[in-house]
Amino acid sequence: MLIKLFSISSSALLLRWTNSKDALRKLRPVNEIAVFISSRTDSGVHALQNSAHVDIQRKEGNMPFSEQVLVDALNYHLQSEPISIIKAFRVPDTFHARYCALSRTYLYRLVTGVTHHSQIPVFERNLCWALPTKHFSTEAVQDAAQLLKGTHDFSTFRSLNSETPFRSPVKTLQEATVAPEFVHFHISLGVRAQGQPLYSTLGAIPEATERRAEAAVNRQSNFNFTLPSPPVTLPESFAPYRRVEQAFHSKLKGPITVDKKTLVELHNFQTPSTKGAFQRGTGMNLLTGRFTAPLSGIYQFSANIHIDHSELKSKGQLRARDNVRVLICIESLCHGYTSLEMIVGLESNSKIFTVFVHGLLELQVGQYTSVFVDNGSGAPITVQNGSDFTGLFLGA
């Protein structure tokens, strides 16, 4: 069940939503409640809306909750929390709120003509960016924001931490709008990540757009347009747009059975016919499931593998040591080369679950990568059709 929620106090959103497990338990499900939220907010960011998914299994003989009944019941039990449920949707077992997330919208709120924080309305404090200038050109900032639309490498705008090498800086900005409101301006940025959930790497974008707006205003007007922040330089890849020459998004055509204690290479993929799918270049062989590097360099790969082990679970044969490994390997040598790997225990998972593998690999010309599934359990498992394998050439 997918649940969309609204929060006016997002600094503790994750904690509040985790506490809402109590509300879900009051619905008396027979399964253990586990809540998976689509994303967390960054420091200083307020979430106006988010989504999460949860499995609710009722006692035998009881009909599943309808979407509206679930919304009303949860809101009743969440009266003491600063969260309200907007909608609920029934979704397939393969859905995951985090890994199936496609986009995120950032809303930057600016107040102009403020020389001291005490001038900001009480209910707006810590919820907007105060600028001392009274001369804010909506048209100039709107024009500058359009330079950011499209697919770009946003490395310049992201902070460095231990997870930076494993997250792609390539994002697609689908929409950028600037709109004046009663006491502030709204800059809305609709951003889409390619092949992965979106992580926050765009905090400096308002500064960059305003630096472009400053240059435009200074050319067209006599008044000064100053900012309280240091200059931010846009990377050269912003204009003209840099074309991604090698990239693919493929899905498994049909299910593949992996016998017990067996390592299997996945093959027989297809490029989805739906909008948003892509295949750039000739590196990906859909029949063999292997991507051959046409250039030496750094590549980003990810795989969402849907595992069905209902046969094993229904027979009650699960042991603590039963697990499944999903690997993205070079030249089919998962131990001879660096590989991307995720290990998931079967005992704690539902009958159908998804294993997500993501990271960077350095390939030489002619080397190939492919996805392997290692079944460490005592019975066969099935890799479901629709499992995906994606890749992208980042650079030499």
The candidate with the shortest Cα–Cα distance to 9, out of 123, 119, 111, is 123
Residue type, 308: D
Question: Per the structure block, which two tokens stand in for 87?
Answer: 């909608």
Beta carbons of 143 and 127 less than 8 angstroms apart: no
CA dihedral 33, 38, 40, 44 (to 10 degrees): -130
Measured CA to CA, the distance from residue 121 to residue 118 in angstroms comes to 8
Beta carbons of 396 and 341 less than 8 angstroms apart: no
Active-site option among 22, 42, 93, 308: 42
* Cα-Cα-Cα-Cα dihedral sign, residues 173, 175, 178, 182: negative
* Sequence-distant (≥ 6) Cβ neighbours of residue 21 within 8 angstroms: 33, 35
Is 259 part of the annotated catalytic residue set?
A: no
Measured CA to CA, the distance from residue 137 to residue 18 in angstroms comes to 42
Q: Cβ–Cβ contacts within 10 Å for residue 396, how many?
A: 8
Q: Torsion-angle region of residue 395: left (phi > 0), alpha (psi -120 to 50) or beta?
A: left
Measured CA to CA, the distance from residue 7 to residue 38 in angstroms comes to 14
CA dihedral 324, 325, 326, 332 (to 10 degrees): -130
Instruction: Indicate the burial class of 203 (C-beta count within 10 angstroms; 0-12, 13-18, 19 or more).
Output: middle
Report helix, strand or coil for 46.
coil
Measured CA to CA, the distance from residue 117 to residue 130 in angstroms comes to 8
The candidate with the shortest Cα–Cα distance to 104, out of 211, 188, 215, is 188
Task: Please give the DSSP secondary-structure letter assigned to residue 234.
Answer: P
Residues with active-site annotation: 42
